[in-house]
Amino acid sequence: MLVTGGSGMLGRDVVTEFARRGWTVASPGHTDLDVVFRPHLEALAQGGYGQYDWVVNCAAYTAVDRAEEEFMAATLLNGVAPGSLGFACHQNGWRFLHVGTDFVFDGEAGPYEEGALPNPVQAYGRTKLMGEDHAFQFCPDAVVARTSWLYGAHGKSFPRTLVEAARAGKALRVVADQTGTPTSTVDLARTLADLVAASAPGGVYHTAGPEPMTWHALAVRAIRADRRAQGLTDEPSVEPITTADWPTPARRPRDSALVSTKLGALGVAPMRPVDESLDEFVARLSAVPPATGGLA
């Protein structure tokens, strides 16, 4: 296995899960295998980085708001690199698993099954949709695993920011009119490993948590999990606000929840209930240093 973006929030848990399954995993860092640097891509395609059964692409430009201004950087990483990696895979007879996003949808008709028509409404989603298209153009049996609202112990995420703010006693206001499917990186790593183990046929798969909810509901559930872990039972106080109350540079979909219709047929189990994943998440958060910066 070759995992790109192995130092990222999802990539770290993917590398751990693959190793746990006894698979040999190579995960060169950004500077050793830069997925937008032509000499590295040529070397990869020529087998200079080794031979693999699968290449799993967790590298991405994930700063949704900044992508509005840094469209070129986001396009190279999210739009072009999946084509280059897919090409290398196809040349060598490797399978390609690429991670996609719910932000390819406009959010007007969620929840979305795999066959729904994408229509991204911000730069990030457009670059990610381009990446899906390029992956399939250069590697027809690519697997694109779209996911949604990730949280993990090794990166910035909305639940992390909210739990840390609640721990610091800050007043919290959270958008209550956008819906998605919060997904633990540990659970997603298991599902991606299951797709690999099942030799999933090429195509798009929706791989997200089992419960659609709003950012506000997610904030309450995450803080509740944190309080539970400390033996506290008082209800979190989080003021619900609207999208109009919290303007952002990039437009967000109103409901981009993902529904999977294809995993069952491959014998891939649905992810755990969100509260179970959040209990594990807050326990892991306490074991790693606080995140720096704002929301991802």
Active site residue 124: yes
- Judge whether 97 and 195 are in contact, CB under 8 Å: yes
CB of 269 to ligand NAP, least distance (A): 20
CB of 7 to ligand NAP, least distance (A): 4
CA distances from 114 to 10, 62, 65, 127, 196 (A): 21, 22, 25, 18, 18
Site for ligand NAP in 131-170 (CB under 6 A): 147-150, 155
Q: Exactly one of 2, 11, 79, 191 binds ligand NAP (CB under 6 A); which one? A: 11
Closer CB to ligand NAP, residue 14 or residue 200? 14
Distance CA 118, CA 145 (A): 14
Q: Count the site residues for ligand NAP by CB under 6 A.
A: 25
Closer CB to ligand NAP, residue 60 or residue 174? 60
Element (H, E) at 11: helix 9-20
4 touches ligand NAP by CB under 6 A: yes
Site for ligand NAP in 24-53 (CB under 6 A): 30, 34-36
Of 251, 159, 152, 143, the closest CA to residue 206 belongs to 143
Burial class (CB within 10 angstroms; exposed 0-12, middle 13-18, buried 19+) of 30: middle
CB of 158 to ligand NAP, least distance (A): 8
- Judge whether 148 and 183 are in contact, CB under 8 Å: yes
**Residues labelled as active-site residues:** 124
The residues of the shown chain that bind ligand NAP, judged by CB under 6 A, are 4-5, 7-11, 30, 34-36, 58-60, 62, 77, 99, 101, 128, 147-150, 155, 296
